[in-house]
């Protein structure tokens, strides 16, 4: 390279190096000015530590209504739908033993009855056949018994072999068994003494006549149910419990019906889940049963074990509980505080459509939105609905 060109090349190299350094410095400053990725994601109000809220004044004309929160007994699962039933061991169905016509009904639904008390009188032509069979079986038994006695005497004299005595003994035993069967059938039919075609249907246990399926003058077939008799102390209770609230339930837990004051205990917890995502918890009621009737629909409560460190429980209107997208389906309420409707996450304990029991960040003086929650969810922005 000519000597006169050397200073120009050196100058050009210095200018290029300075330009590259300036560009890198500017890019570094630009990257430093950009917010980190984590700060961008935390800018969302849903993931911020500050709960979402709306100004009360914005909804003055929207018809928003609020209700106070009330203290609840957190030791009980409440507002559980339940049905009063009769334990299977205390229930009896009385059926017609033979084909017959109902002559008379001697009791009425709701009457208290004793074991062996007549419930109805029936008339059946089959009784005549049963009595005839009994007479024939009795005569056959007499003949077989005499034959057996005669063969025993002949055998003792050495006139007949032992095999003939054994055959007579077997025939006598068969005749005795047939006679016992005929007597049992006639007794099971409830036949009146003598040669009458009438029979009496009796109560098998002490209890109350729950139902009557026939009337006087009707014809009935064998095994047709005539009456339903039950002993009503104690009573059973079938409680529908949501699967999400069934954890910790076990046999022995206390059960009560607030409306009647009846009390009892859990005897079994079902495992099959119904269409309403509930399981059946069976309980036995022992006290204050006078106002309860089989088939009655009631609301029951089940005692649950206390959990350490849990927040107080509150009763709120059922319509106050909502779910917002992006909260993992956790229920929330809108609490009115300092001129704003604040979203407060809660934990559902129990309840019905009218009232629910929850735990969460609520206080005794709070009021929750009971009407107009849909407007508030819409105002929070897209994706806030269920």
Domain 91-230 sits in CATH at: 2.40.50.100
Higher pLDDT, 378 or 30: 378
Distance CA 336, CA 366 (A): 7
What pLDDT, on the 0 to 100 scale, is given for residue 139? 94
What pLDDT, on the 0 to 100 scale, is given for residue 307? 60
**CA end-to-end span of the chain:** 79
**Pairing assessment for the beta strands 65-68 and 112-113 based on DSSP bridges:** unpaired
What pLDDT, on the 0 to 100 scale, is given for residue 48? 43
Distance CA 365, CA 336 (A): 10
For the segment 31-55, the average pLDDT, to the nearest whole number, is 49
For the segment 140-153, the average pLDDT, to the nearest whole number, is 93
Distance CA 254, CA 250 (A): 10
- Among residues 323, 332, 319, the alpha carbon closest in space to that of 371 is found at 319
The answer to whether the CB of 85 falls within 8 A of the CB of 210 is no
What pLDDT, on the 0 to 100 scale, is given for residue 359? 81
Higher pLDDT, 75 or 314: 314
pLDDT band at 73 (very low <50, low <70, confident <90, very high): low
For the segment 301-314, the average pLDDT, to the nearest whole number, is 73
What letter would DSSP give residue 191? B
What pLDDT, on the 0 to 100 scale, is given for residue 41? 37
For the segment 309-325, the average pLDDT, to the nearest whole number, is 81
Sequence ranges of the domains in the chain: 53-73+310-379, 77-86+232-303, 91-230
- Comparing 80-89, 182-191, 268-277, the range with the smallest average pLDDT is 182-191
Distance CA 145, CA 175 (A): 8
Per residue in 344-354, pLDDT (tens digit) is 998 887 766 78
Domain 53-73+310-379 sits in CATH at: 2.40.420.20
Per residue in 124-144, pLDDT (tens digit) is 888 888 888 888 999 999 999
For the segment 62-84, the average pLDDT, to the nearest whole number, is 84
What pLDDT, on the 0 to 100 scale, is given for residue 74? 61
Question: Tokens for 168?
Answer: 């007579």
Residue 315 has pLDDT above 60, yes or no: yes
What pLDDT, on the 0 to 100 scale, is given for residue 19? 46
The answer to whether the CB of 348 falls within 8 A of the CB of 72 is no
What pLDDT, on the 0 to 100 scale, is given for residue 298? 95
Per the DSSP assignment, residues forming a β-bridge with 65 are 371
Per residue in 160-203, pLDDT (tens digit) is 899 999 999 999 999 999 999 988 888 877 776 666 788 889 99
Distance CA 128, CA 191 (A): 10
Question: Tokens for 150?
Answer: 């005669």
Distance CA 61, CA 90 (A): 61
Higher pLDDT, 111 or 43: 111
What pLDDT, on the 0 to 100 scale, is given for residue 14? 43
Distance CA 106, CA 111 (A): 10
Q: Which CATH architecture has domain 77-86+232-303?
A: Beta Barrel (2.40)
| Cβ atoms within 10 Å, residue 14 | 10
Residue 28 has pLDDT above 80, yes or no: no
What pLDDT, on the 0 to 100 scale, is given for residue 194? 66
In whole numbers, what is the pLDDT of the chain averaged over residues?
82
Question: Tokens for 138?
Answer: 């009795």
What pLDDT, on the 0 to 100 scale, is given for residue 308? 53
| Cβ atoms within 10 Å, residue 187 | 11
- Comparing 214-218, 316-320, 324-328, the range with the smallest average pLDDT is 324-328
pLDDT band at 300 (very low <50, low <70, confident <90, very high): very high
């Amino acid at each position: 390279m000519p000597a006169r060109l050397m200073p120009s090349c050196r100058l050009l190299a210095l200018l290029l190096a300075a330009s590259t350094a300036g560009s890198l410095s500017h890019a570094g400053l630009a990257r430093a000015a950009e917010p980190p990725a984590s700060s961008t994601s935390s800018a969302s109000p849903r993931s911020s530590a500050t709960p979402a809220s709306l100004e009360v004044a914005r909804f003055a004309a929207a018809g928003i209504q609020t209700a106070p929160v009330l203290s609840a007994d957190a030791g009980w699962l409440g507002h559980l739908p339940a049905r009063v039933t009769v334990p299977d061991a205390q229930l009896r169905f009385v059926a017609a033993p033979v084909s017959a016509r109902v002559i008379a009904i001697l009791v009425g639904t709701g009457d208290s009855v004793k074991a062996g008390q007549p419930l109805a009188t029936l008339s059946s032509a089959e009784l005549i056949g049963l009595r005839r069979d009994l007479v024939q079986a009795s005569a056959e038994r007499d003949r077989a018994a005499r034959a057996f006695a005669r063969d025993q005497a002949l055998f003792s004299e050495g006139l007949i072999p032992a095999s003939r005595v054994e055959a007579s003994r077997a025939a006598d035993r068969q005749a005795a068994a047939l006679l016992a069967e005929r007597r049992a059938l006639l007794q099971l039919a409830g036949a009146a003494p003598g040669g009458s075609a009438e029979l009496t249907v009796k109560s098998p246990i002490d209890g109350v006549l729950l139902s009557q399926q026939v009337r006087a003058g009707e014809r009935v077939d064998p095994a047709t149910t005539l009456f339903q008799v039950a002993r009503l102390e104690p009573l059973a209770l079938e409680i529908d419990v949501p699967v999400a609230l069934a954890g910790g339930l076990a046999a022995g837990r206390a059960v009560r019906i607030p409306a009647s004051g009846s009390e009892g205990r859990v005897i079994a917890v079902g495992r099959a889940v119904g269409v309403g995502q509930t399981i059946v918890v069976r309980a036995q009621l022992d006290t204050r049963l006078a106002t309860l009737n089989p088939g009655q629909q009631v609301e029951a409560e089940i005692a649950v074990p206390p959990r350490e460190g849990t927040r107080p429980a509150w009763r709120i209107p059922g319509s106050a509980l909502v779910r917002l997208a992006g909260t993992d389906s956790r229920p929330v309420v809108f609490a009115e505080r300092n001129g704003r409707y604040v979203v407060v996450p809660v934990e559902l304990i129990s309840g019905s459509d009218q009232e629910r029991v929850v735990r969460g960040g609520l206080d005794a003086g709070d009021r929750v939105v009971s009407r107009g929650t849909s407007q508030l969810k819409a105002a929070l922005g897209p994706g806030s609905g269920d």
